[in-house]
Amino acid sequence: MIEGYLPDVPYMATFIREIAPSWLDRVAVGNGVLPPRASSQQSFRYCELGCGLGVTPNILAATCPSGVFVGIDVLDYHIDYAKKTSAASGITNTLFKAGTFEETLDEQFEAFDYIVAHGVYSWIDQANCNHLLNFMERFLKPGGLCYISYNTLPGWNRWAPVQKLLLSIIDSCEDDPITCFKTAVETIREMKILGARYLNDNVMVDEFLNRADRLQIGYLVHEYLIPAWNPAYSIDVSSECKKRGLTFVGNAEQIKQRDDFIFKKNQIQLLDSSSYPSLRELNKDIILNTSFRRDVFVKSAKNLNTEEIFNMKSEQVFALNPASKDQDFMMRTAAGTLRFDNQAAKEIVAKLLCGPIKLSDIASDCMDESVTTGDVVNTADALWAVDIIRPVDQQVECPSLDKLNAALKLGI
C-alpha cells in the first residue's frame, strides 16, 4: 500500500484527453521536440501510472489499435474494473497490473514510448514520488515522452487552509471517508453562514463549496483528504526529473502553448529575460498564481528545426470540439480579446464539421486559393490554444468502441 493514500475510496471514471498520444505528440512538436511516433499508424507502447478505473487506457486502446496500453494502480478494485471493461469490450491490447510504484520497479516491462501520471504525484508522499519518477527513468525509451500533472504552488496555497480544516473535522469523525467528507462540507457551510471571517473573506471557500456540489465524491475525497497532500513548485518537479535524465518539453494545457495569449507584452519581456527554462516556468506560475500544471518531459530529446516543425504540424490530424460548431471566433484572455474571424479559421472549422482531417489536406482543399498551408497551420495553433479544435489520431476502424461505450455506461 502507498503510505498516505486512501485505499477504500474508488476514484471516478474519467477520460483525460491531455494524456492521449496524439495530444502529447502535438505538445512535443510545438516545442521543437521530435515525438515518439512518426505517424499515428506506428506501433508504440504506453503506460499510465495511477490509472484508476482504467478508463483512459481502455478508450485509447480501443481507438489506437497500433498501441499497447499498460495501466498500473495500487487499488485492486481499480484494476479489476479495468480488466473487466477490457474483456467486456473485446479489447486485446491492454495490460492492467495492481501494485505500488515501488513494487512495479522490479517488473520486466518492455520500454515505453509514453509514460503518464495524472494528478497522483500530488497525492503521495515524497518517497513514492521518487518511485514514480524512478519508474519513468527506468522504463521510458530514449526519445519517449512522460507526463506529470500535479497541484502547483504558489496557487494551491489558497486551498491549504480549507484542506487543513477538512482534515481536522474529519479526524473527529468515526464514519467512512465519504460520509465524513460530506459531514465536513456541511460543517464548513454552516460555519460560513454563522459568520466565520476566514470562510467569508476567502473566495476559494466558495469555489470549494461549489466543487463539493458539482463534482464526483470519488474525486473530492482523493483531492482534499489525502494525508500525504503534496503540492509542488514546478521548478522542483523539473529538478527531480532532470536528475533522472528527463528534460522539460512544455505544458500540455493547450492555452499554455501560446504565451502571447495569456501574458501581456511587458510580462513576456520579463519571462524572456530568464535563460533557464525551469525558472521561466516558475516565473509564469508566480505571475498567473498557478494551482495546477500538466508538464511534459522527454528522455534524450531530438530537437526539430523550424522546417521540420512546420512539416510535422501540417501532417497533424485535428478534430472539431463538439461545443465549437457555433463558434464566434473570439475569446477573452488576460492578454486581451483574441479574434480568429479570418478565412483560414472558417475553412478549418468547415472541413472539420465532416470529421477529423490533416491540416495539409485542409490547405489543399481550401475554397479560397489565397489561404496557404502556413495560414492553416498558424491558425490551427490558435484554434487549438482556445479549445476550438484538438489533435487526434488518424481515424481507423474501432470494432471495440461500441462495446466499450456500453460497458462504461453500465459501470462494469
pLDDT in tens, 146-170: 999 999 999 998 888 888 888 888 8
- Centre a 10 Å sphere on the Cβ of residue 156 and count the other Cβ atoms it contains: 22
Distance CA 124, CA 377 (A): 40
Residue 1 confidence (pLDDT)? 47
Contact status, residue 334 vs residue 264, Cβ threshold 8 Å: yes
Distances from the Cα of 169 to the Cα of 26, 32, 189, 193, 205, angstroms: 44, 49, 13, 17, 15
How much is the pLDDT for 192? 94
Structure-block grid coordinates of residue 85: 471493461
Distance of CA 170 to the CA centre of its chain: 30
Residue 47 has pLDDT above 90, yes or no: yes
Lowest mean pLDDT among 51-55, 91-95, 362-366: 362-366
Rounded to the nearest 10 degrees, the angle between the axes of helix 203-214 and helix 217-224 is: 140
The Cβ-side half-sphere exposure at 259, using a 13 Å CA radius, reads 18
Task: Please say whether the beta carbons of 1 and 108 come within 8 A.
Answer: no
State how far the Cα of 168 lies from the Cα of 162, in Å rounded to an integer: 10
pLDDT of residue 412: 59
Q: Between residues 350 and 114, which one has the greater pLDDT?
A: 114
Nearest to 72 by CA among 46, 91, 44, 100: 100
Give yes or no for residue 143 having a pLDDT over 50.
Answer: yes
What would the grid cell of residue 378 be?
498558424
CATH 3.40.50.150 range(s) for the chain read 17-153+231-299
CATH architecture of 316-392: Alpha-Beta Complex (3.90)
Alpha-carbon torsion 222, 111, 144, 387, what sign? negative
The superfamily (CATH) of domain 17-153+231-299 is: Vaccinia Virus protein VP39 (3.40.50.150)
State how far Cα 387 lies from the chain centre. Answer: 14
Per-residue confidence band for 229, with pLDDT thresholds at 50, 70 and 90: confident
What stretch(es) of the chain map to CATH 3.90.930?
A: 316-392
- What is the number of other CB atoms lying within 10 angstroms of the CB of residue 137? 17
Nearest alpha-carbon partner for 57 in 92, 8, 27, 29: 92
Say what the pLDDT of residue 397 is. Answer: 81
Q: How far is CA 394 from CA 29, 175, 234, in A?
A: 17, 49, 33
Q: What is the mean pLDDT of residues 264-276?
A: 91
- Count the Cβ atoms, other than its own, within 10 Å of residue 258: 18
User: Which range is least confidently modeled, 46-50, 258-262, 336-340?
Assistant: 336-340
Q: Which of 46-55, 185-194, 363-372 has the lowest mean pLDDT?
A: 363-372
Tell me the C-alpha distance between 229 and 36, whole Å.
33
- pTM for the full model? 0.93
Asked if the model's pLDDT at residue 335 lies above 70, the reply is: no
The pLDDT value given to residue 2: 52
Q: CA-based Rg of the chain, rounded to a whole angstrom?
A: 22
Q: Given the DSSP bridges, would you call strands 44-49 and 112-118 parallel, antiparallel or unpaired?
A: parallel
Identify whether the C-beta of residue 300 lies closer than 8 Å to the C-beta of residue 146: no
pLDDT confidence of residue 253: 97
Tens of pLDDT, residues 379-397: 999 999 989 999 999 888 8
- The average pLDDT across 67-80 equals 95
Across the chain, what does the average pLDDT equal?
A: 90
